A = this chain, B = another copy of it.
Amino acid sequence: MADVNVSALPVSPKTGGKSDDSQGNEGIPAVELIELLFFAYRDFVGDADEHLAQLGFGRAHHRVVHFVSRHPGMRVADLLAVLKITKQSLGRVLRELVDHGYVLQRAGDSDRRERLLYVTAKGEELSRQLVSLQTRRFARAFNECGPGARLEARKFLASMIDPESREEVERLIAGADTKK
């Protein structure tokens, strides 16, 4: 049933020439990269999606557990800033994670209005498993690509990020505290 006849797709009549400015693109049209990134990302998140679905969680839970695990003690406001979602959206997801014992919250020391976020051992284990799945995909990819590919990919991915947010992201992935 699933064998859809993709090869039945007809020729594109629209090309009056292969358009995509053939200077300096190494013979690789951007539209190819656009589509490859789409499919690559879809499979990349698919790894985690399967695992999460078995726990009744979704991608939103993944992102929360991941960042809290990486940055123990971050504030709710910090998390909102990283995820760029509203606190109402975060609310349900966070409550579910707390209720099921993956995340815990503690009042801040210096400012007791703050609810600092930590993963429990259970949350840390979940995060570790998800990282492991995706790490395997990267490892396989770089194994196919040959030496230097990992470094190249890192540069490429960083360059794809908005210049304005790049510094913040680099700080974040370096594991720096998201605080003050």
Contact = CB atoms under 8 A, between A and B. Distances in A.
Q: Which of A7, A30, A161, A175 has the most CB of B within 10 A?
A: A175
Contact of A13 (B70, B109, B150, B159): B70
Contact of A172 (B20, B35, B155, B172): B35
A142 B29 CA distance: 13
B134 A30 contact: yes
| Copies per complex of this chain | 2
Given A118-B9, A134-B30, A157 B36 contact: yes
A12 B161 contact: no
Interface in A152-170: 152-162, 165, 168-169
Contacts of A112: none
Contacts of A37: 41, 44, 157
Interface of A is mostly: helix
Contact of A180 (B10, B121, B137): B10
Interface string A103-146: 01010010000001011110110001001001101111110110
27 contacts: A2-B81, A2-B179, A4-B73, A4-B116, A6-B168, A6-B175, A8-B104, A8-B121, A9-B78, A9-B176, A9-B179, A10-B120, A10-B121, A12-B177, A25-B139, A28-B154, A30-B134, A30-B135, A30-B138, A33-B150, A35-B173, A37-B157, A39-B157, A39-B165, A46-B162, A141-B156, A145-B152
